[in-house]
Amino acid sequence: VLLGESPHLLLTGGPGIGKTHLVVALYRQLSTVFGTELVAYANVPVFCEEAKAMYGRRQVANPWEGIESARRAVMLDDLFGRELSQHESAQIIYRLIDTIYRNGAALIANMNQDVDELKRRLPPHEISRLLAGCTIINVRAERDWRRK
Ligand X SMILES: Nc1ncnc2c1ncn2[C@@H]1O[C@H](COP(=O)(O)OP(=O)(O)O)[C@@H](O)[C@H]1O
The residue ranges that bind ligand X (CB under 6 A) are: 15-21, 145-146
Could you tell me how far CA 41 lies from the centroid of its own chain? 7
17 binds, among ligand X, Mg ion, none (CB under 5 to 8 A by kind): ligand X
Dihedral (Cα; 25, 140, 138, 42), 10-degree rounding: -30
Task: List the Cα angle 89/20/118 in 5-degree steps.
Answer: 30
Q: Which positions touch Mg ion (CB under 5 A)?
A: 20, 78
Nearest approach, Cβ of 112 to ligand X (angstroms)? Answer: 7
45 binds, among ligand X, Mg ion, none (CB under 5 to 8 A by kind): none
Dihedral (Cα; 17, 18, 20, 26), 10-degree rounding: -150
Query: Quick one: 73 or 75, whose CB is closer to ligand X?
Result: 75
Beta strands in 32-120 (DSSP E): 39-43, 73-77, 106-111
Closest residue to Mg ion, Cβ-based? 20
85 binds, among Mg ion, ligand X, none (CB under 5 to 8 A by kind): none
67 binds, among Mg ion, ligand X, none (CB under 5 to 8 A by kind): none
Query: Quick one: 75 or 103, whose CB is closer to ligand X?
Result: 75
Closest CA to 144 of 33, 27, 13, 53: 13
The answer to whether 48 and 79 have CB atoms below 8 angstroms apart is no
Query: Quick one: 19 or 72, whose CB is closer to ligand X?
Result: 19
Query: Quick one: 17 or 130, whose CB is closer to Mg ion?
Result: 17
